[in-house]
Every structure is written in structure tokens, then in C-alpha cells.
Structure 1
Amino acid sequence: MAVTTLAPPRAGGNSPRRRGKAARWLAVLRQPIGASAGLLVAALLVLAVIAPWLWSDRADLVDTDQMLLGSSAAHWLGTDNLGRDLLARILVATRLSIGLALTATAITVVVGLLLGAAPVLIGRRGGRLVTSVITIGVAFPGLLMALFFAVIFGVGERGAVLAIGLAGAPAFGRLSQTLVAGIAERDFVAAARVAGVGRIRLLVRHILPNIAEPLIVNATIGAGGALLAFAGLSFLGLGVQAPGYDWGRLLGDGLSGIYVQPTAALAPGVAVVIAGLAFNLFGEAVAKGMGLSTTSGRTRPLRAALKKLRGGAKRETDGDVVLDVHDLSVTFAGADGPVRPVRGVSFTLRRGEAVGVVGESGSGKSLTAHAVARLIEETGQVDGQRLEFLGSDLLGGTVRTHRDLLGTSLAMVFQDPMTSFNPTQRIGRQLAEVARQHQGMTWNKALARAVDRLRAVRVPAAERRSRQYPHEFSGGMRQRAMIGMGVMGNPALIIADEPTTALDVTVQREVLGLLQAIRAADHVAVMLISHDVTVVGQMCDRVMVMYAGRIVEDLPASELGPAARHPYTRALVAAVPNMRTDLRRPLAVIPGRPVLPAQVPVGCAFAPRCPLADDRCTREDPPMVTDPAGRRVACWHAGEPITRDAGNARTREPLGNLTFGNGK
């Protein structure tokens, strides 16, 4: 297959996304308030740079003959008690006032981001402790906290900057925490974790770009608050100390003579108000223009051998086995005790084999796949007698110890193609990150590999498409690109979790055909999770039926019909209409509701909905039994014909004519 070298995307590319961002900023500046506040902020920043050069000598000139004079042509705002020009001093104080406020804002932003991103950086357990600290911090008024820290750090510029910066950190941390949590649950973040992206890189490359705009807006507004707070500390004598001066210091010095020279106190106060309003109004204008709310290194090369991973011992296994799972369970803490949405799941998946997993929503299909891919949240616990992928124990160690293996040999295709990619990065760059992370490729080679993989999954004009953003792809194209990301390495297993749910029938057929082609070409094992029994029956070799967190039947796909032995499997098949369905009769449905993970009954979980259930079913949970042909089923009445009442007689009917319930 031909490989085309692709230059890295330029930061200044004239893409629709960049044009959209530029248009939004221009829209902000077109607003009267936005334009006025923007010009005022720009003027303040320019003044902060040039004022000390132009007026420092005049501001520091002591003239005892000119003390406490009123406004005049020589001194527009008068003089202070040492005869120094008030206007010059206010202008010169702009640099220190603005500079200290921006420094304090920077501290607030950095510390707040670290607090808000703690669940991503140090895990959910440590994140909960940090969340408690944030909750306590936001319970106290900001000015009170600033005074508290000012006493700890001492008077002076440094102490005041630290005090104001740390006092604002809890509120900014709460905002960051909310925004980070919203992005961290997206599928493209999960995909990055599967690819082995480290926590810091995950935060910097995938999460922060998606929350940058609201953070910038709130930081801009926060700068105005920091300016006012700093002036307050200097006014109280806790901030800038003589001979230095900022607006707060000038206000405090002028207050003593306010009845003799009121301008000495009023002018610095007006400067503080104008500057604070400028930052706040500009931030509000940016928020309004963008539709936001204001309330709220080097990569490691691929290991030469994946035969032994840290934290997990390898045992001798059949070389044809890709995934070996035995007695797998996933447990979460619940209000009334532990909840196990996955209970004792066991199966084996071999090279080139396609296994379908079907069942109603909440049956544990996706959680089983996520447990295999090490994507279960830290609040959940994955246990089992065995969970081995390519002979390596995934129950031992952490995700970091298995990142190379999972990043190159396991591919995840998620349900929603729109959330499977980071919307702030180009498609090619996201695919290339896998090669950079695990194969040590340069950007040029990694991007060329990305184009090659896009071409392999039948994306037309692959080189041009690699430079586009996810929103420029259709749903089917995004799903193909997601599969392309999975085959950036050499996957031995592709887990496709509802890969065609959001797609129309034509595109669905193309995506499934693509998975089949990859499977045939590279002898890749496929685990297809779906609600569509028909699709699974056509595409897979074997079907596992899950109910209430466990596998209730494992049978060849060719027998997914009348030959199925578990009542739940037959109910699922009967609920799918076909061309032979009798339209004069109600459509077949499964009566009742699926079992909640926290309310699994004693005995067989399907018993309350099963037409074959008896007293034994409600007392004893049936074990999984394997017949000589390798088919497995967990049912006390496996293979028995379904009976239903017809008047006063008990009749037996074939599966095709059976109605499991009327849905009432």
C-alpha cells in the first residue's frame, strides 16, 4: 500500500474552525460594550508599559513649595502633601497596579486549574479529597480569605499577590472542575486513554483545548476583581509599601487630607473603578459574544517485545487465544451496599473470531468491554480469576503498566462517532498521536501513517480529509476514521460498542463490511456489542447473550433462532419482526422490565419475566452448563418449549408464532 508523506498541519491554517473562532472574536469587538471595554483595556495595558518611562521623574519630584495645590495648568489634578504631581503618580502607578493584578490572576488560574483537574491528574480518590478542599474554600468570602493569607504571607507586594491569587483559586477551581468533568466523560478522552496517552498529556492536549474559552472569559473577569482586591489590601496597608505605590496606596495616602485636597483620594479611586469595570465589561462582552455563562515532551518508543509487562505475570496459553476472561465482575459502591452490574462473566476469544454480545440496555455489555479495555472508573473495582489479553494479566498492575499493549493491540470503536474525536484537533493529528505515543514515529511519519490508515478504511481524499476537523466529517466518515485510529497499530482485537447505532442502514452496512474486511485481512478478533440481533447473527461466528450482568447463553450465530435454548434468547429473537411476521397479531415483546443491578433477585434474574419459571428458578441461580458441542447455557429449563395459556388449555407453539407479552 502506497505511503504518502504529509507535512504537519500549520498552526495558522485558514480552516473553517479557525475562521469561526476569529469571527466570534470579531463579533465581540463589534458590540458597543465590547469595543469600548476592549479599547479601554488595551489603553490601560499600553499605559502600564509607557507611563513609567514618560512620567516617573515628574511623579517623584518633591516640591515643598507646591504642596496640596488644587487643579491648575501645571498640575491638572493638583499635588500631594509633598508637592508631587498627582496625575503623573496615578499614571505611573498603572504599571504596578495592573501588573500585580495580572500576576495574582495568573496564580488563581494556575492553582485553580490544578485543583479542578485533580481527578484527571491524580485519580478520582485523590480528586475527592481535593474537591473537599475546594468546597471548603468557596464557602468563605474571597476578601476574607485574602486577608487571612495576607497575614500569613506578610505585608508587601509578594504577600498580597500570593494572598489574592490563592483566595481566588477555590472559585476558579470549582469552575475548572465542572468543565473538566464534562469533557473527561467524552468518548474521545476514553479513546485517548485506550491509546495509552498519559494523564498530563491527556489534560493538556485533549481536555484543556475544549474548555479554554470559558476559562479565558472568567480569567478576564477575575482580573478586574483581583485589581479591586489588591487596591483594597494596599489601602489597608497590607499591599504595596513605601516608597512604592499603586492606586490603592495612593488612595490610602490621600484619604488623610481628603478635606484639604479631595482629588488626592478621589482620583486613584476613579482609576481603580475604571480599570476594574474595563476588565469586567470586556469579559462579559466576550462571554455574551461566545454564548458562554460567566457564573460558573518526548514519547516512548514501542517496546521491542510485549511478552512481559510490569505488574502482571504471563502464563503459558494457547497461542491462538486473544482474550481469556474467567469469572469477571465489576463492582461499584451503592447507597445500600456494593452493586455488581457485571457478575461472573467468562469467555474466550480467538484470533480471527467474531463474537457478538447482545442483550437489553443495562445488561452489562459495555461495562464488560470497558473492563477488558481498563476503562472502568476508579470508583469501580474489577475482579476475576483471570483477565488475560495476548497472554498478559490485565488484573495486575495499573493502566500505565499495560499502556503499550492496549495502545497497539486493542482497538475500541465507540457508539457515538461525534464524541469519539476531540473536536479541537484535526483528524490526522489525532490518529498520528497513537503512532507517536507507542511507535516513536516523528510527526511526519506518524501523519503519513494516519493518511495511509484513513485510505485503508476507505475514506476518500484521505490526505485532504486528514487536515479536517471532526465536525467536517459525516457520521459514517467519522466512524470509519475511528476504526482507522484503531488500526494505526496492529490490533489483535477490535471491540466495537454499538458502532452503527447513529448511522442509517446504508452507512451501517458499509461500516460493518469494513470491520469484516479488516478482520479477514489481518486475522483480527472482533467483539461486536449490539442491540440488533439480526446484525450480530449475520456478522459474527458466535453470540453471547447477557442478562442482569451475566452471560446466560453462548451459542453459534447460525443457531440464533429456533435452536436457541434460553427463554431470554428466544424472546430477543422473537421480538425482531421479519417479512414472515403475522401483522394480524400483536408484535412480540418481553413482558416486564430489565433487572436493575442494585436489585438482582435471588435465583434466576430472568425468572420474573420468564414463562417457564417455577419455584426452583426463584430459589437457585442456574449454573453455566457446557454441552459437548461447546454451547453454553444457564437455565433450569434450557431447550424446553414455551407454553402459554390459551383459554383454559395449555398449548405449545413454535417460536415464530409466540407472543411473550403485550407490553402492558
Structure 2
Amino acid sequence: MRLRTPHIRRPRGPLAVITTVLLAVLLLVAVAGPSLFGHRAGSIDVNAIQRGMSGRHLFGTDALGRDILARTVVATRKSLWLALLATLLGTLCGVVAGSLPVVVGRRLGRLIVAAFNLLVAFPGLLLALFLALVFGVGARGAVLSLAVGMAPSFARLTHTTASSVARADYVSAARLLNVPRHRLLTRHVLPNIAEPLLVNATSQVGASLLSLSALSYLGFGVQPPAYDWGRMLSDGLPSIYTNPSAALAPCVAIVLAGVTFVLAGELLTQLVAGAGHAPVRRVEAATGAASGEAPDTGEHVLRVEDLTVTFPGTDGPVTPVDGVSLSVRSGEIVGLVGESGSGKSLTALAIGSLVSHPGVARAGTHTLSGNDLAGMRPAARERFLGNALAMVFQDPMSALNPAIRVGRQLAEVSEVHQGLSRTAAMGRAVDRLRSVRIPEPERRARQYPMEFSGGMRQRAAIGIGLMTEPVLIVADEPTTALDVTVQRDVLTLLRQVRDERDAAVLLISHDIAVIAEIASRVLVMYGGRVVEDLPVGALADDAAHPYTRALVASVPDMTTDRERPLATIPGRPPDPAARPAGCAFAPRCAYADETCRTTVPPLAGTGDGRKVACWHPVQRAEPTTEGH
């Protein structure tokens, strides 16, 4: 896996200067020391045995009359090499162990996580001492035992950071594309957690050096006639009281080298943090698109009935989406609106089978383009959704993987699902960037998402979903945080896609004005349920549900009286863990009675193609909620 080196600023300040000088000195001593001082370090002088400090021997001599300083310099190469090797092996073992829960099944993943969490409870050096008995004494055994001993801490770090990355939109979309798990790991997750692993590995070299020296000192590490700093300490122990200088040089070397690598880790932390999250490498594309393998056999492209999403809670299961039913026809743009926390985005994730563990999504009916998703095996469902559903997520910066160039993200869709060559897929990617009106698509395809503006990133995210022929596009807050001009461009683009491809669009937003501009039909959600289904033309002044009317009244327009306070909906949205027994809107509704507080109203038709879930639907001439 080829990584692109993160952009790091030039080191500055006293810490950078001191660390750079110390690293340079260590490197120079390790490279040149054996050549310059090797002969003196190995020369035995029976007339200078156990001598103290002198002008000829600055740190004295050992039991064979060999110069302690020369031997310390020569031992630098072996000591550093063993520490670096142990750290490298420990890091690799930890990364593999920490990544396995992402690749293997959920149950086995839990056991693996529990195993390295248990091992982290043991001190690394104590675990290394035990493992040294298994691997045997000597430099190889010491390196292997220390590597295995430090692996659990790296596994825990890898798992923690990988879990946070795995929740990103671009990883969810890659799962929607049915990207294999090993590619999901190596191309999406690991490149984006390389920085903390690198920083921690750098700091760990100093700890490895100290631990290896301790193992050699105790007789488990380097064996005579070879020697490292720990072996020198062990050899100088018998004369510690008569010739303490024999242990001084290796002690100073261990301390200086350990401090150097700790400072290097600290400096790298500051530099990486200052540089921001730079691109690391390319990964798969973010969103999916449909192919022709799923013909539309019914009137509705999407039909969902009695959809529930449940999460475990401290006092029992929590159901933030409860009994949602909706449908979208081919060529239709349906808006899904509601306050934050009403369950809109979670409903979108459930439609794409993207609800993360420990959440569980179930539906009585869940069909897409005539295919029963509920009856499919998981692997077949993931493969089908990767070809039949396009997702446009709320934040294009998180929907587009920052680790790869935009063109490669688009091209990956065609490479994976259409079998195109790398060159052909890139050509199609450039064409799609052009179709979503991104200027200079050839040049932009070679750039990273961070080089795009917000509007261009959103267009690119839509372009990824159009690499083939989508039958359904789910756009979750696609205009959030965009200025009004860019919002209009994105909405125009969605309408253009609908017109050109006859695709169905489910547009999720909390912005009533956005929905009113583009949708033909509106679904209103409150408290995890759909409370009204009505044409967009009736949204402004003919809604039947008090909540819908309150939402519309809270949106100011050019006719709003600026002398009066802005309209608001009194009270707060219900907590999914403590939803009222009856209508969820009853505590905030001026029309609520005892029936509303005790019985949940069904979503029932009104005879004109509209549906409302309310015991007392509002008539056009009647008032709405208090305060409006």
C-alpha cells in the first residue's frame, strides 16, 4: 500500500532545533561509530583492567581493559537497531490485531477487542519478560518478546482510531458500494489513521530502547560476545562500587537516546497537528449508483412500510425511527422535512442498510426497484444496493475521502462495478465531473477534496452517484452550509439529473424553502414518525397537521411582519428514549386532548391522496398552534 507522505511544516523553535541535533548525532554515531571506534572497543589491555576515569579512558575500562566510551559508541548501532526493529514489529502486529475487528465478523471482532484490552492491563515489560522465556534468550528473543508485548497498546490505538474513521460518510458509502472488507480497511481506514500511529511509534522507540536494555541487563537480551548498552550495564554491575564509571557511559547513552525519541514524537505531534489533515493516499469512491440489473417492476421505485430503527439504551431499547412508511415513484422528487432529531437522516441510512451497530433496522416491506431487500441475504443486498442506490451525504468533505484525488474516487465506482480499466474509468470520471458542471474537469480530477470549494465538493459527490445509472438518489441535507447561490446550483443539478435519467429523488432537509422549491411531494417527520404526506403546493397554507403548519409559520418570508417576533414552536422535540404514550406532538399542540395524549394516531388517507397522522387535523381557516 503506497502512502503519500503528509505535508509537514519545516521544524522551527528550540524544541525542533534540539531534537534535530540529537537525532543527527545519534544517527552519525550509529553509522560511523563501529568503523571509527571498533578497534579500540575490542582491544584488550591487561594492564588497564578496571581503571577509572582518566585522560586516556574518559569513562574508564571494563574487566578486560577495554575502553568503556569506545564500546558505548560502538554499541549505539545495535541498541538503536534492535529498538527500531522491536517497535516496527510491535506496531505492525498491533495494527493487524486492531484492524481485524473491522475485517472479521462482529462476534469474532468482539473477542479480539476483549483479548487485546485484557493484555493492555499487563505492563509491557512484564509481558515481555514472560514471553522471553517462550522465545528464548538472545537478541532475537528479546526483540520478538518486546514486539508482542507492545502490540496490544498499538492494537487498542488502531481499533479506537479506526472505529472513528469507520463512521465517516465516505466509509458508509464504500460499504454501500459493496467494497470488500480488506479493501475497505487498506484503502479507506488505515491511510487515514497513519498519522497517530506514526507519532506514537516514534515515541515508542525510546521506551523500546529502555526495555531492551533492561532485558539485556537481566540476561534475556544480547548475549556475549555481542553487546549493547544493557549488556554493558550488566557487565559493569560487579564493579559498581569500585568502578562506577563503567556503568555511567551506557546509562547516559540510554537516557539521551530515550529522551531524543520522546522529543521526536512530541515534535512530530506538533508538526502533524499544525499541518492539518493532509491527503494520505487514494481510496474507493464514496457513493453508489444503479445499474441495469434491477428493472423497475412496479409503480414505485422505493417502498418502505413500518420501518423501525432500534438502539440499546440504559433503560431498554430506544426507537428513534418508529413505524415509518413512505414511497417514491420514478422521476419523482419527494421531500422529507422535520426538526433536528426527528429521524430524517436515520431513515435515509436505514433505506440504504447503513445503520451502524448496535442499531438494528427492520421493515415490514422494503423494496427498491421491485426487489425485496428484506428477503435478500446480506451479501446480495449489499451488492444490489451498491448498484441501485446513490447517496449524497450532508457534508461533502466527509462524504469525499480526503485521502484520494477526486477523479480516482469517481473512477473507482466504474472499476469496481462496471469492470472498466483504470484509464477508461478515469475518462468516465472526467466526463461525470463535466456533467455536474465542474469547470476544468481534467485538472480538477487530479485534485484532492480539500482543494474544492463547498459547492464543488457537493457537485462531485453527486457526480460519484452518477457514474452509472441510479434509480434512486437519497440526498441528505445536500445544501447545508452552502450559500444561497450554491444551494440553487445544487438543487438545479438534482432536478437536471431527475429529468435526464428519470431517477427518483428523496431529498432530506430541515429547510422548508429548499423542499418547496424542488419537491413535488412532502413527507413531514416528527418524533421518529411520518405525521403528514401532502403535495408541495399544499405545504404553505393547506397543511392538515398542526406541526406542519407550525413548521411553515416558523420560516420567515418577504411578507413577514418585521415588527413582530419570529414565530416559534413552543416546547422541545420529544426524547426518543422517553416518547409520550400518545401523539408525540401532543405536549406542544394547542388542539391536544386526552385521546391525543394516550393513543398514537395512524397515518391515514384523507380521500384526496394526502395522509395525516392526527386526531384533530387542522382545517384551512382554523388557527394553528399557540403563538402563531
Regarding TM over 0.5, the answer is yes
Q: Residue type of the partner of 1:35?
A: V
Q: Is structure 2 residue 246 aligned with structure 1 residue 264?
A: yes
- Pick which of 494-503 and 614-623 moved more: 614-623
Distance (whole Å) between structure 2 residues aligned to residue 554 and residue 108 of structure 1? 58
Change in Cα spacing, 1:259 to 1:598, as seen in structure 2 (3 Å) is: closer
- Pick which of 105-114 and 64-73 moved more: 64-73
Return the offset for 1:125: 5.4
For residue 504 of structure 2, the aligned residue among 511, 525, 540 is 525
For residue 279 of structure 1, the aligned residue among 227, 238, 261 is 261
Q: Residue type of the partner of 2:232?
A: L
- Identity, % of aligned positions: 53
Q: Is structure 2 residue 217 aligned with structure 1 residue 235?
A: yes
Distance (whole Å) between structure 1 residues aligned to residue 289 and residue 576 of structure 2? 40
For residue 363 of structure 1, the aligned residue among 342, 348, 355 is 342
CA contact (8 A) 1:435 1:441 kept: yes
**1:21 matched to which residue of 2?**
7
Q: Deviations over 1:201-259 (max 9, x none)?
A: 33332333333223222211110110011101110112222333211011101111234
Q: Is structure 2 residue 470 aligned with structure 1 residue 491?
A: yes
**1:171 matched to which residue of 2?**
153
Q: Which runs of 5+ in 1 are unaligned?
A: 1-9, 13-17, 309-315, 642-653
Return the offset for 1:345: 1.5
Return the offset for 1:459: 0.6
Distance (whole Å) between structure 2 residues aligned to residue 619 and residue 214 of structure 1? 53
Distance (whole Å) between structure 2 residues aligned to residue 11 and residue 246 of structure 1? 34
For residue 82 of structure 2, the aligned residue among 89, 92, 100 is 100
CA contact (8 A) 2:289 2:389 kept: no
**2:627 matched to which residue of 1?**
662
Q: Residue type of the partner of 1:505?
A: V
Distance (whole Å) between structure 1 residues aligned to residue 338 and residue 345 of structure 2? 10
Distance (whole Å) between structure 1 residues aligned to residue 443 and residue 290 of structure 2? 33
Distance (whole Å) between structure 1 residues aligned to residue 117 and residue 185 of structure 2? 22
Q: Residue type of the partner of 1:375?
A: L
Return the offset for 1:66: 5.2
Distance (whole Å) between structure 1 residues aligned to residue 138 and residue 90 of structure 2? 18
Return the offset for 1:499: 0.7
Count of residue pairs the alignment pairs up: 619
CA contact (8 A) 1:588 1:660 kept: no
Q: Deviations over 1:474-498 (max 9, x none)?
A: 1111111111111122211111111
Change in Cα spacing, 1:398 to 1:213, as seen in structure 2 (3 Å) is: farther
CA contact (8 A) 1:588 1:662 kept: yes
For residue 214 of structure 1, the aligned residue among 196, 208, 232 is 196
Q: Residue type of the partner of 1:607?
A: A
- Pick which of 183-192 and 413-422 moved more: 183-192
Change in Cα spacing, 1:172 to 1:398, as seen in structure 2 (3 Å) is: farther
Distance (whole Å) between structure 2 residues aligned to residue 364 and residue 289 of structure 1? 40
Distance (whole Å) between structure 2 residues aligned to residue 444 and residue 532 of structure 1? 41
CA contact (8 A) 2:590 2:624 kept: no
The two structures have a TM-score, normalised by structure 2, of 0.89
Q: Is structure 2 residue 314 aligned with structure 1 residue 335?
A: yes
Change in Cα spacing, 1:33 to 1:614, as seen in structure 2 (3 Å) is: closer
Distance (whole Å) between structure 1 residues aligned to residue 266 and residue 364 of structure 2? 57
**2:459 matched to which residue of 1?**
480
CA contact (8 A) 2:582 2:600 kept: yes
User: Tell me, what secondary structure is at the counterpart of 1:419?
Assistant: helix
Q: Is structure 2 residue 168 aligned with structure 1 residue 203?
A: no
Return the offset for 1:342: 1.0
Distance (whole Å) between structure 1 residues aligned to residue 24 and residue 184 of structure 2? 34
Q: Deviations over 1:342-399 (max 9, x none)?
A: 1112222222111111111111111110011121111011111222222333335666
Change in Cα spacing, 1:460 to 1:53, as seen in structure 2 (3 Å) is: same
User: Tell me, what secondary structure is at the counterpart of 1:517?
Assistant: helix
Change in Cα spacing, 1:63 to 1:585, as seen in structure 2 (3 Å) is: closer
Distance (whole Å) between structure 1 residues aligned to residue 18 and residue 515 of structure 2? 62
For residue 374 of structure 1, the aligned residue among 349, 353, 358 is 353
Q: Is structure 2 residue 329 aligned with structure 1 residue 350?
A: yes
For residue 325 of structure 1, the aligned residue among 289, 304, 328 is 304
Return the offset for 1:74: 7.2
Return the offset for 1:514: 0.5
User: Tell me, what secondary structure is at the counterpart of 2:7?
Assistant: helix
**1:82 matched to which residue of 2?**
64
Distance (whole Å) between structure 1 residues aligned to residue 166 and residue 156 of structure 2? 15
User: Tell me, what secondary structure is at the counterpart of 1:348?
Assistant: strand
Distance (whole Å) between structure 2 residues aligned to residue 251 and residue 393 of structure 1? 72
Q: Is structure 2 residue 437 aligned with structure 1 residue 451?
A: no
**1:253 matched to which residue of 2?**
235
CA contact (8 A) 1:214 1:292 kept: no
User: Tell me, what secondary structure is at the counterpart of 1:363?
Assistant: coil
- 1:77-156 equivalences under 5 Å are 77-122=59-104, 126-156=108-138
User: Tell me, what secondary structure is at the counterpart of 2:474?
Assistant: strand
**2:271 matched to which residue of 1?**
289
Distance (whole Å) between structure 1 residues aligned to residue 467 and residue 342 of structure 2? 31
Distance (whole Å) between structure 1 residues aligned to residue 163 and residue 291 of structure 2? 36
